[in-house]
Structure 1
Amino acid sequence: MNDKTLDCSDIDRFLGKPIQPGRTREPIAGNDIRRWVQGMHYPNRLHYDDGFAAEGRYSRIVAPLSFPVACDDGHGTAPACVGLIPNSHLIFGGDEWWFHGPRIFAGDRIHNERIPLDYVVKDTKFAGPTCFQRGDNFYYNDRGDKIATQRSTSIRYRADLAREMGGSKDPQDDPEWTDDELRALEDRKFEWIKSLHDLGHGKRWWDDVKVGDKLPTRVIGPHSIASFTTEWRAYLFTIWCGVIRRTDLDMEALGFTDDFAGKEQDPVLELENPEMTDGAYIGPSRGHLFPRWARRIGMPRAYGYGASMGAWILDYFAGWAGEWGSLLHTNCSYRGPALCGDISIMDGSVTDKLIDEQGRAVIKADFKMKNQLGATMATATAEIELPKR
């Protein structure tokens, strides 16, 4: 293609029509939950320590609110990635979540109903004409309980234009951290972990929260190819035959460039040569773990997963609310990736408190994630129900 257009017309025929569901192959195991919180850097003992969890609200280990996306077969982006866009690639743009009350425990089977919603094309400095596409995910357990709704936004763009326009302006070399700086980072991380310990099984009362209160700072990183790989393997679909595969997924039919149109998640090839279907090595996901491939799609070096960034945000709010609080709704926008060698610094504050029309004691909060240079990586808002005295 010599012009600078982005043909999205094929998307129209998919809008409003359900696509194949995402389905776990086996019941969720306790170690699936433990592997998830370990991969997401979320040391909340409620989700991995049997003894601690047994003394709490649920009397057993419960999955964190971020866990539904681990049960999907594509980070929740499947309904936001339908239709042919020639010579394109995809990154995550954001997620909006609604939580309906039921929680996930070991023994549950999870499935995800999915419907493409809409799209809009905007001009960006990153890649020129860019498609912002949305789709809805509805997560259920095997008893028919609706657990969560996720409205996912994907960003689809022409990789050649991203390279031509310079893509990300970040340097290609990882930043260097001294031993003293790394030790200081570990201290900062532990301050947030201690805030989880301090709350323990206690209740964060709505009555005690004030508008303007600051939430504890959370730090993750420095990110590395090792940490990104650990995140990748926490998603059940990255395990060979870990989920029931879709039969309607074709990367070439989506218009992915040749370098990234491998047979990732192909259910037939998976049985013959699963390494060819493993997105860590071949296919559209390999840009996360290999700098060479990252640069092919406009990224300067290896970079993290948008769905993981979303999980960090959900865990941040839910960890502050505690096990007696309920995260009702979040709206998250991803502005820039977690690049290899960088750190992610998360801060939030209470912006409002109210009793809603259902009589729930609710606080509203906002959120910002930045890297060590002050560049904004993500923003979010949340509504959280807290217990009232």
Structure 2
Amino acid sequence: MATKSEDILKSDEWQKAVDYAITDEDIERQKKLVGFYEPAKTREYIQTATTDNIRNFSHGNGDDNPLFCEPDYAKSTRWGSTIAPGMMAGIINSPMLGDPVPDEIKALKKSLFRGVHVFVSGSSWDWYRPIYPGDTLYSYNGEESCEVKQSEFSGRSVINVRRDVKINQRGEVVAVYRILRVLTERKTAAKKGKYSALEPATYTDEQMADIDEVYAQEKVQGPVPRDFASVHVGDSLGKMAKGPLTVTDVICFHAGGYGFVPYAPTVGRLAHKNRKRIAPFYVKNEYGIPDVAQRLHWDPKWAQAIGNPMAYDYGVMRENYLFHYLSDWAGDDGIVLKVHDEIRKFNYMGDTQFVTGEVTAKREEGGQNLVDVAVRFTNQRGDETVRATATIALPSKGKLPLYPDVPRELQEQATQMMARHWELLAASKRK
């Protein structure tokens, strides 16, 4: 006899949840949105950086670097204060005001890719300034590209790159964040079940001791400058462990400040209002309770319903692990300038990630001493789950590296967006 759980999984409700399709019309509408940028009106959990939320965010990634976590220590560094890990720019946002979105853009966006699943499969970052306690970040964003592909895992998929420009309260560009998103049909992924035979990881005491040994050997370069001259092509960046992955890790990542915008899973009356706002985002669980589609990161039943053997992490969690690895190696005086990462496989509950990297090139450019590195994440099965490259500026002969100048056209665009924000804000206060 089928259990209640199995009955729900076979029900019309669940079938409806995986029955949304990618249509040619959606693809054409998406392509017409490429190049349109608008202010981000979302209010994230964190709008202004503080010493507390910087520390909590770092701890949510397992990062205890004192430059981010210990204000007294950070005062003695070149920065004179705690600063935020660069990727924290991606989760800080205060609403930016702007002119109304044109009706034709609204029409293109309405119910676009309704009920289709979205995976973050990689990103690229360019950093231009540090984030200090007291900095409020705003942003504007838009679609930079749209491409249709055939995927072994999910059949036809749409690959979108969204470009977010992050700006502080002084109108200075802090970072440009490009997010690679893969849109897939839930029903196709569920039918293919490429990873359905994968067994959950289990560990003996000896295997856990081996992982603990990696943790014990990890080193924060910190106050000891990693001088450019001491670095050579082929040098190892060391080894870092992340895991085994647990639901607790996902909870801590959210508690550290990673929000749910724009889907906004919430509690009680707020959840009721949200179900009315975006009904397709809520799918009944095995108990008949409407719950968020996003729960595939902690609910194995829902993850299995869309073709995965168990729940898995957010790709952005591993992107933050990557920055942790790079900043540990660079030291307090070094600056991570650029990162490009590709999320190549899922990181399932119970999986352990081992992070390794090496120096691939070093050069002098624009008065800076730059080091290029390649990084890999490999799980306990030997699968490569993340591939990344980065550029890091290092000190040389006592000369400290600097952040690069913001491209003129980009800064002018950002200045105009912020000026319009302040103009509209002042007008609203006069009413």
Matched, 1:384 2:392: yes
Could you tell me which of 153, 158, 161 is aligned with 1:126?
153
Could you tell me which of 40, 46, 60 is aligned with 2:81?
60
Is the contact made by 2:226 and 2:394 (CA closer than 8 Å) also made in structure 1? yes
Q: SS of the residue aligned with 1:188?
A: helix
Q: Tell me how far apart the structure 1 counterparts of residues 270 and 146 of structure 2 sit (CA, whole Å).
A: 35
Gapped runs of 5+ residues in structure 1? Answer: 74-81, 239-244, 250-263
CA-to-aligned-CA distance 1:76-101 (integer Å, 9 cap, x gap)? xxxxxx6722552011111011011x
Match of 1:91 in 2: 119
Task: Note the 1:1-389 alignment, pairs <5 A.
Answer: 6-7=23-24, 8-21=27-40, 22-24=42-44, 26-72=47-93, 84-100=112-128, 102-169=129-196, 171=198, 173-192=199-218, 195-196=219-220, 199-238=221-260, 264-265=263-264, 272-274=269-271, 277=274, 282-356=291-365, 358-389=366-397
Displacement after TM superposition at 1:292 (Å):
0.9
Change (3 A) 1:191 1:19: same
Q: Which amino acid aligns with 1:103?
A: P
Displacement after TM superposition at 1:4 (Å):
8.4
Is the contact made by 1:36 and 1:70 (CA closer than 8 Å) also made in structure 2? no
Q: Tell me how far apart the structure 2 counterparts of residues 333 and 115 of structure 1 sit (CA, whole Å).
A: 20
Q: Tell me how far apart the structure 2 counterparts of residues 174 and 158 of structure 1 sit (CA, whole Å).
A: 25
Is the contact made by 2:363 and 2:371 (CA closer than 8 Å) also made in structure 1? yes
Normalised to the residue count of structure 2, the TM-score between the two structures is 0.75
Normalised to the residue count of structure 1, the TM-score between the two structures is 0.83
Is the contact made by 2:146 and 2:161 (CA closer than 8 Å) also made in structure 1? yes
Q: Which amino acid aligns with 2:307?
A: G
Q: Tell me how far apart the structure 2 counterparts of residues 174 and 277 of structure 1 sit (CA, whole Å).
A: 33
Displacement after TM superposition at 1:19 (Å):
3.6
Q: Tell me how far apart the structure 2 counterparts of residues 236 and 381 of structure 1 sit (CA, whole Å).
A: 24
Q: Tell me how far apart the structure 1 counterparts of residues 273 and 297 of structure 2 sit (CA, whole Å).
A: 17
Q: Which amino acid aligns with 1:113?
A: Y
Q: Tell me how far apart the structure 2 counterparts of residues 176 and 147 of structure 1 sit (CA, whole Å).
A: 42
Displacement after TM superposition at 1:5 (Å):
6.5
Structure 1 window deviating more from structure 2 (60-69 vs 344-353): it is 60-69
Q: Tell me how far apart the structure 2 counterparts of residues 361 and 113 of structure 1 sit (CA, whole Å).
A: 31
Displacement after TM superposition at 1:111 (Å):
1.2
Work out the percentage of aligned pairs sharing the same amino acid: 22
User: RMSD of the alignment, in Å?
Assistant: 2.6
Gapped runs of 5+ residues in structure 2? Answer: 1-17, 95-108, 276-280, 283-289, 398-431
Is the contact made by 1:72 and 1:237 (CA closer than 8 Å) also made in structure 2? no
Greater C-alpha Rg: 2
Q: Tell me how far apart the structure 2 counterparts of residues 64 and 212 of structure 1 sit (CA, whole Å).
A: 26
Match of 1:79 in 2: none
Q: Tell me how far apart the structure 2 counterparts of residues 276 and 233 of structure 1 sit (CA, whole Å).
A: 23
Specify which structure has the higher proportion of helix: 2
Displacement after TM superposition at 1:60 (Å):
2.1
Change (3 A) 1:114 1:361: same
Q: SS of the residue aligned with 1:282?
A: strand
